[in-house]
């Protein structure tokens, strides 16, 4: 007795879904996960990779099958059968992608929300408050340039130094922050200021007064990266953290993360920002807490020498 073709189709479909799920959950295309965000993101990626694998094998498999099964036989010079329209089939092939896309969209939104990325960037009242805060904090010329959207290197150069996102004296900045985790509780977080410019990331540790070209953070402690751009839009991206956040002139952004794996990972500018954009890279070093404290004390600048302490030993 021949096996009904509907049964074969069903079995093939089940095998296809299982194969796609196996690939999605066992083949890893991502670099190591080094932040608390990474597992959340990776769960989404595995689902997307499974769906992509199922579609790829299904479509390419059917294509190859049809090429062989329905090829022109020798001596067959007739036209193919004229087939026009199949309403149930069209409904099914519209409904399945619609459900898949809707599911992926809702799931992605949920993941981004759980990462704390849904702070409204388009809130215009927040933008206005931010602009007026900028205007009061900086020289009028610079503020005007920023408001006109024509920030240049010259405008950045006349901005007072130390005008980083946080004032350094522990006072919370008066600006409106947007970005990943901007709405979350940042008590106890390590606060680091990031200034992005063509073509470098500069990190400033306000408490220790360290300025560094490399980001150093302790493991398992929340870091609040307060980011501002001096010239054009840049993007701070650490693939191992699964985090990317734009750094925007005139719109300070915040990126909260907790590193979970010691090591050195690349920081990449992920926004085409000029001719040397490809060279705009740095590193983030995740330390064990003791190593981080050692790095802090090693790099904290010595207090300016006074007359009374002029005979102290010079620092190495
Ligand atoms: Cu850049």
- 76 pLDDT tier (thresholds 50, 70, 90): confident
| Residue 121 CA: distances (Å) to CA of 125, 250, 251 | 10, 13, 9
In the reported structure, the alpha carbon of residue 198 is separated from the centroid of ligand 1 by a whole-number distance in angstroms of 6
130 φ, ψ (degrees, to nearest 5): -65, -40
Exposure of 137 in the CB half-sphere (CA atoms within 13 A) = 19
Reported as a single tens digit per residue, the pLDDT across 279-311 is: 999 999 999 999 999 988 888 877 777 655 445
Cβ neighbours of residue 227 closer than 8 Å, sequence gap 6 or more: 165, 179, 193, 194, 195, 196, 236, 245, 247, 252, 253, 254, 255
State the Cα–Cα distance between residues 92 and 95, nearest whole angstrom.
Answer: 5
What pTM was estimated for this model as a whole? 0.69
In the reported structure, the alpha carbon of residue 271 is separated from the centroid of ligand 1 by a whole-number distance in angstroms of 6
Residue 257 DSSP label = E
In the reported structure, the alpha carbon of residue 250 is separated from the centroid of ligand 1 by a whole-number distance in angstroms of 15
- Mapping DSSP to helix (H, G, I), strand (E, B) and coil, where does residue 292 land? helix
Domains of the chain listed by start with CATH number? 7-68+92-114 (no CATH), 127-299 (2.60.40.420)
In the reported structure, the alpha carbon of residue 278 is separated from the centroid of ligand 1 by a whole-number distance in angstroms of 8
In the reported structure, the alpha carbon of residue 236 is separated from the centroid of ligand 1 by a whole-number distance in angstroms of 8
In the reported structure, the alpha carbon of residue 105 is separated from the centroid of ligand 1 by a whole-number distance in angstroms of 29
In the reported structure, the alpha carbon of residue 293 is separated from the centroid of ligand 1 by a whole-number distance in angstroms of 30
Which carries the bigger pLDDT value, residue 126 or residue 194?
194
**Tokens 């953290």 belong to which residue?**
241
In the reported structure, the alpha carbon of residue 285 is separated from the centroid of ligand 1 by a whole-number distance in angstroms of 20
In the reported structure, the alpha carbon of residue 246 is separated from the centroid of ligand 1 by a whole-number distance in angstroms of 10
In the reported structure, the alpha carbon of residue 148 is separated from the centroid of ligand 1 by a whole-number distance in angstroms of 21
User: Where is 260: in which H helix or E strand?
Assistant: none
pLDDT value at position 127?
44
Q: Which of 198, 197, 195 is nearest to 274 (CA)?
A: 198
Instruction: State the Cα angle at 271 between 269 and 277, rounded to 5°.
Output: 60
Q: What residues pack around ion ligand 1 (CB closer than 5 A)?
A: 234, 269, 273, 280
């Amino acid at each position: 007795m021949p096996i009904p073709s509907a049964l074969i189709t069903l079995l093939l479909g089940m095998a296809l879904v299982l194969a796609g799920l196996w690939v999605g959950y066992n083949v890893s295309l991502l670099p190591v996960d080094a932040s608390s965000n990474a597992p959340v993101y990776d769960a989404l990626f595995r689902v997307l990779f499974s769906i992509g694998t199922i579609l790829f094998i299904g479509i390419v498999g059917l294509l190859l099958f049809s090429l062989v099964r329905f090829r022109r036989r020798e001596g067959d010079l007739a036209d193919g059968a004229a087939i026009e329209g199949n309403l149930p089939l069209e409904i099914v092939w519209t409904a399945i992608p619609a459900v898949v896309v809707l599911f992926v969209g809702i799931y992605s939104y949920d993941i981004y929300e759980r990462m704390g990325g849904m702070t409204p960037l388009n809130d215009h009242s927040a933008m206005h408050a931010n602009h007026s805060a900028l205007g009061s904090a900086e020289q009028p010329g610079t503020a005007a340039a920023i408001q006109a959207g024509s920030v240049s290197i010259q405008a950045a150069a006349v901005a007072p130094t130390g005008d980083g996102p946080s004032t350094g004296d522990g006072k919370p900045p008066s600006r409106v922050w947007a970005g990943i985790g901007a709405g979350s509780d940042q008590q106890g977080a390590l606060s680091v200021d990031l200034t992005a410019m063509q073509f470098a990331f500069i990190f400033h540790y306000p408490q220790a007064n360290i300025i560094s070209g490399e980001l150093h953070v302790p493991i398992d402690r929340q870091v609040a990266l307060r980011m501002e751009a001096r010239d054009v839009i840049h993007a701070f991206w650490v693939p191992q953290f699964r985090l990317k956040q734009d750094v925007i002139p005139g719109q300070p952004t915040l990126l909260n993360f907790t590193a979970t794996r010691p090591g050195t990972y690349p920081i990449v500018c992920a926004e085409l920002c000029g001719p040397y954009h490809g060279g705009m890279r740095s590193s983030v070093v995740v330390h064990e807490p003791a190593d981080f404290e050692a790095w802090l004390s090693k790099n904290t600048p010595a207090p300016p020498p006074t007359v009374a302490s002029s005979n102290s030993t010079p620092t190495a």
